[in-house]
Chains A and B, each alone.
Chain A
Amino acid sequence: MIETGYMQVLAAAALAVLAIVLAKVKAIPVGKEIAFGTVRSFVQLVAVGYALEFIFNTKSFWLVALSVAVMTVVGAYTAAQRAKHFTGGFFIALISISAGSLVTLGLMLALRIITPEARYIIPLAGMIISNTMNAGAVTFDRISSDLKDHRLAVETALALGKTWRQASLRFYRNAVKAGMISILNFMKTVGIVALPGAMTGMILAGASPLEAVLIQVIVGYMLISSVSIASILAGEMAIRRFFNAAEQFVG
Chain B
Amino acid sequence: MSCHNTVVLETRHAGRQIIKNGNAIRTVDNVSYAFNKAHIYNLIGPSGAGKSSLLRLLNRLDEPTEGEVRFFDKPLAEYPPTELRRMVSMLFQTPYLFPGTVRDNLQFCCCDLTDDKIGQLLTRVGLDESFAGKDADDLSGGERQRVAIARALSLEPEVLLLDEPTASLDPTSSQTIEDLILRLSEELCLTTIIVTHHPNQALRLGGETLFLVKGRLVETGKTEKVLKDPETELARKYINRELR
Contacts and interface: CB of A to CB of B under 8 A. Distances in A.
Contacts of B62: 248
Nearest to A152: B96
Given A152-B92, A155-B92, A160 B155 contact: yes
Nearest to A150: B96
A248 to B, nearest CB: 6
Interface in B75-111: 77, 81-86, 89-92, 94, 96, 98, 108-109
B216 interface: no
B60 interface: yes
A152 B83 CA distance: 20
A162 B82 contact: yes
B63 A160 contact: no
Contacts of A157: 98, 108
A246 B96 contact: no
Given A246-B60, A247-B81, A248-B63, A160 B152 contact: yes
17 contacts: A152-B92, A152-B96, A155-B61, A156-B92, A156-B96, A157-B98, A157-B108, A158-B61, A159-B59, A159-B90, A159-B92, A160-B86, A161-B84, A161-B85, A247-B81, A247-B82, A248-B81
Contacts of B92: 152, 155-156, 159
Contacts of A247: 81-82, 85
B152 to A, nearest CB: 7
Interface string A156-193: 11111111000000000000000000000000000000
Nearest to B96: A156
Contacts of A246: 60, 63, 77, 81
A160 B61 contact: no
Interface in A202-251: 246-249
B60 A161 contact: no
B158 to A, nearest CB: 13
A248 B62 CA distance: 7
Interface string B154-187: 0100000000000000000000000000000000
Nearest to B87: A161
A153 interface: yes
Contacts of B89: 159-161
A91 B124 CA distance: 51
Interface residues of A, number: 15
B85 A160 contact: yes
B37 interface: no
A247 B81 CA distance: 6
B151 interface: yes
Nearest to B62: A248
Contacts of A156: 92, 96, 98
Contacts of B98: 153, 156-157
Given A152-B92, A152-B94, A156-B96, A161 B63 contact: no
A19 to B, nearest CB: 44
Given A152-B96, A246-B81, A247-B81, A159 B61 contact: yes
5 cross-chain pairs, A with B, having the tightest CB-CB distances, nearest first: A161-B86, A247-B81, A159-B90, A156-B96, A161-B85
Interface in B54-77: 59-63, 77
B82 A159 contact: no
Contacts of A162: 82
B95 to A, nearest CB: 8
Contacts of B94: 152
B151 A160 contact: yes
B81 A159 contact: no
Nearest to A246: B81
A248 B155 contact: no
B52 to A, nearest CB: 12
Nearest to A163: B82
Contacts of B81: 158, 246-248
Contacts of B91: 159
Contacts of B59: 159
A161 B61 contact: no
A161 B161 CA distance: 13
Given A246-B81, A248-B61, A160 B109 contact: yes
Highest count of chain A CB atoms <10 Å: which of B63, B77, B85, B155: B85
A8 B87 CA distance: 75
Interface in A6-29: none
A161 B96 contact: no
A247 B85 CA distance: 10
Contacts of B85: 158-161, 247
Contacts of B86: 160-161
